């Protein structure tokens, strides 16, 4: 089947061509296409070109609109066209075209989403916690937001490489090595490895502040590690293994999966070459014994690429990483997801990589840190919250809700449902806000059954599914496909129009790296569905109308399920 193009695209092509044939617009830059209206009173799409063309055409906008409407011949999917206000041109789609489109959605595995990524690779660098340290709130947000972006790109046909760029290299490993040999508690390591590794590090660090010999020993151990000493290497690998194992239990619960776990150390061998390249291109220069790249012309502070002690920096590793990724994957773009505090770092190495002529489209998606009001988490320490405990609490609270709403369910079902709701609630809170605005987490909001929350959408989905089930029980012999979708009532129409906009919501969420655009869409859709459900009869409607509505229901359920799954949120048919 030919891919479904959206009404927005079809209409935009049409208005652009029609404008050009009615007026002489040889070299105009004005956008001649349409955009969705936000009030159905003004039709389904609007074109604002008349206002913007007024100066070039030396005519009043309304007159331009008038001439356009009189001269243009409407495409068959447009019912009528109206002029409003200062010169908006409003388009009303025909019910037949809407019906047909929604019916096509029903059988399209991509739900109308264009496979623009076919043949293209995107590397997404997200989560990326540091070995031997607990994930902080920034890593958690990176995991949830990065994973939604990952899913959105895959759904659009991109070959996505999800790469967990672990912080597994650096001077701290000298302290870790001697700390481990002196302070490690085997039992604690089994119980909570990362926590124990962190404790060891802190103890070793504190000792180094008072004890010069300790400091020197740590340095010596680091040098041995860097030179490939077998024993130190093995221990360092153990730190990584223990950390990844623990991170994985969290990824498992969050249903997050990586294609690669290439830590910073993976790029070590490339660092001297990168320095050489920077020097050859005349980009790096000595300054106080260090090697730096001057970024003054880009309005940024200098970037140190090699410290005076010969060690390399975070930026050097990131440059080598870009080089390696470009070589190996020829990606269409590389997307990095971190908290706002790293903006300068990314701007700096993006700019250097451009100067080096590296062919890569680099994107930094940053987000603010979530505010955790005091007393929200019993498990909170500073910026570090114990994620496992947070997820446990979410599931426990969800289980209370489920026990009340679905007392007839078996305990096993209740737990399964509570897991979907609890984890969904945490993710949705993160994803439903503009990533760059300050988010305050509260349990009331996350688990609010009436508001913009995961449970609200999950319940909406289950209610839709149950309508469909009831229909099957009452009319077991009906073939839905014998009855076409037929949009008539205003509220049906509103629902259909919203469904046709799913592809646009996906595109916009992905291209702006803002999953909240999709979350908003799904919330609106669920609300429109609920007024549809309350205002028209379903099972009691006459034959034909009934089937059409059931099919409309089914498409709504499909879109909701798919949309939530792109946010990494699970749905259940029964709640």
Q: Footprint of ligand ARG on this chain (CB under 6 A)?
A: 125, 128-130, 165, 167, 318, 336, 338
Q: Could you write out the DSSP letters of every residue in 175-218?
A: HHHHHHHHH--HHHHHH-HHHHHHHHHHHHHHHHHH-HHHHHHH
Pick the closer one to ligand ARG by CB: 173 or 521.
173
- Least separation in angstroms between CB 225 and ligand ARG: 19
Pick the closer one to ligand ARG by CB: 91 or 349.
349
Distances (CA, A) of 212 to 205, 207, 353, 574: 11, 9, 40, 64
- Least separation in angstroms between CB 167 and ligand ARG: 4
Pick the closer one to ligand ARG by CB: 103 or 130.
130
Pick the closer one to ligand ARG by CB: 44 or 125.
125
Q: Give 537-540's long-range contacts (Cβ < 8 A, gap of 24+).
A: 538/467, 538/471, 539/467, 539/470, 539/471, 539/474
Minimal CA–CA distance to 278: which of 299, 265, 301, 295? 295
- Which stretch of DSSP H or E encloses residue 99? helix 95-107
Pick the closer one to ligand ARG by CB: 32 or 365.
365
- Least separation in angstroms between CB 331 and ligand ARG: 14
How far apart, in whole angstroms, are the C-alpha atoms of residue 555 and residue 323? 44
- Least separation in angstroms between CB 130 and ligand ARG: 5
How far apart, in whole angstroms, are the C-alpha atoms of residue 240 and residue 130? 9
Pick the closer one to ligand ARG by CB: 59 or 347.
347
- Do the Cβ atoms of 490 and 39 come closer than 8 Å? no
Helix ranges (DSSP H) in 406-447: 411-431, 443-446
- Least separation in angstroms between CB 173 and ligand ARG: 14
How far apart, in whole angstroms, are the C-alpha atoms of residue 446 and residue 517? 18
Pick the closer one to ligand ARG by CB: 128 or 348.
128
- Least separation in angstroms between CB 168 and ligand ARG: 9
How far apart, in whole angstroms, are the C-alpha atoms of residue 439 and residue 162? 26
Q: Sign of the CA dihedral 375, 378, 380, 386?
A: negative
- Least separation in angstroms between CB 165 and ligand ARG: 4
Burial class, 406, CB count within 10 angstroms (exposed 0-12 / middle 13-18 / buried 19+): middle
- Least separation in angstroms between CB 66 and ligand ARG: 55
- Do the Cβ atoms of 562 and 111 come closer than 8 Å? yes
- Least separation in angstroms between CB 159 and ligand ARG: 20
Pick the closer one to ligand ARG by CB: 219 or 345.
345
How far apart, in whole angstroms, are the C-alpha atoms of residue 368 and residue 348? 20
Pick the closer one to ligand ARG by CB: 318 or 395.
318
């Amino acid at each position: 089947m030919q891919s479904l193009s959206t009404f927005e695209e079809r209409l935009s092509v049409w208005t652009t061509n029609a404008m050009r044939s009615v007026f002489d617009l040889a070299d105009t830059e004005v956008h001649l296409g349409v955009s969705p209206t936000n009030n159905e009173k003004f039709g389904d799409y609007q074109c604002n070109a008349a206002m913007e063309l007024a100066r070039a055409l030396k005519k009043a906008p309304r007159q331009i609109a008038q001439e356009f409407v009189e001269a243009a011949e409407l495409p068959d999917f447009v019912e009528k066209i109206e002029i409003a206000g200062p010169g908006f041109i409003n388009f009303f789609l025909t019910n037949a075209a809407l019906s047909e489109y929604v019916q096509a959605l029903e059988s399209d595995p991509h739900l109308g989403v264009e496979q623009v990524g076919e043949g293209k690779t995107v590397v997404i660098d997200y989560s990326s916690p540091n070995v031997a340290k607990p994930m902080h709130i920034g890593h958690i947000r990176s995991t949830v937001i990065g994973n939604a972006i990952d899913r959105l790109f895959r759904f659009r046909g991109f070959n996505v490489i999800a790469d967990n760029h672990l912080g597994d290299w650096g001077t701290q490993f000298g302290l870790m090595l001697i700390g481990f040999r002196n302070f490690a508690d085997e039992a604690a390591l089994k119980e909570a490895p990362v926590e124990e590794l962190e404790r060891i590090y802190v103890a070793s660090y504190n000792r180094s502040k008072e004890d010069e010999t300790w400091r020197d020993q740590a340095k010596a151990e680091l040098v041995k590690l860097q030179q490939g000493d077998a024993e130190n290497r093995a221990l360092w690998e153990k730190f990584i293994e223990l950390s990844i194992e623990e991170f994985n239990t969290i990824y498992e619960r969050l249903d997050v999966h990586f294609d690669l776990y290439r830590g910073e150390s993976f790029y070590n061998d490339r660092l001297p070459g990168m320095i050489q390249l920077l020097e050859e291109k005349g980009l790096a220069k000595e300054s106080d014994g260090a090697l730096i790249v001057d970024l003054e012309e880009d309005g940024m502070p200098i970037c140190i690429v090699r410290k005076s002690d010969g060690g390399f920096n975070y930026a050097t590793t990131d440059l080598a990483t870009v080089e390696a990724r470009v070589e190996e994957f020829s990606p269409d773009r590389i997307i990095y997801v971190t908290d706002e505090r790293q903006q300068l770092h990314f701007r700096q190495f993006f700019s250097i990589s451009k100067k080096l002529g590296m062919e890569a489209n680099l994107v930094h998606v940053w987000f603010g840190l979530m505010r955790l009001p005091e007393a929200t988490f019993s498990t909170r320490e500073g910026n570090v919250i114990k994620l496992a405990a947070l997820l446990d609490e979410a599931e426990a609270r969800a289980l209370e809700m489920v026990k009340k709403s679905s007392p007839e369910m078996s305990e096993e079902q209740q737990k399964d449902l509570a897991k979907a709701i609890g984890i969904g609630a945490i993710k949705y809170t993160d994803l439903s806000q503009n990533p760059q605005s300050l988010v305050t987490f509260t349990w009331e909001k996350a688990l609010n059954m009436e508001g913009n929350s995961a449970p609200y959408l999950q319940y909406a989905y289950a209610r839709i599914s149950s309508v469909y089930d009831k229909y099957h029980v009452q009319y077991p012999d009906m073939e839905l496909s014998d009855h076409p979708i037929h949009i008539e009532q205003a509220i049906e129409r509103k629902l259909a129009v919203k469904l046709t906009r799913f592809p646009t919501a996906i595109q916009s969420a992905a291209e702006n790296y803002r999953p909240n655009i999709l979350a908003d869409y799904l919330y609106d859709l669920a609300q429109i569905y609920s007024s549809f459900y309350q205002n028209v009869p379903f099972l009691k409607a006459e034959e034909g109308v009934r089937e059409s509505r059931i099919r409309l229901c089914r498409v709504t359920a499909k879109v909701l399920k798919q949309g939530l799954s792109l946010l990494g949120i699970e749905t259940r048919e029964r709640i």
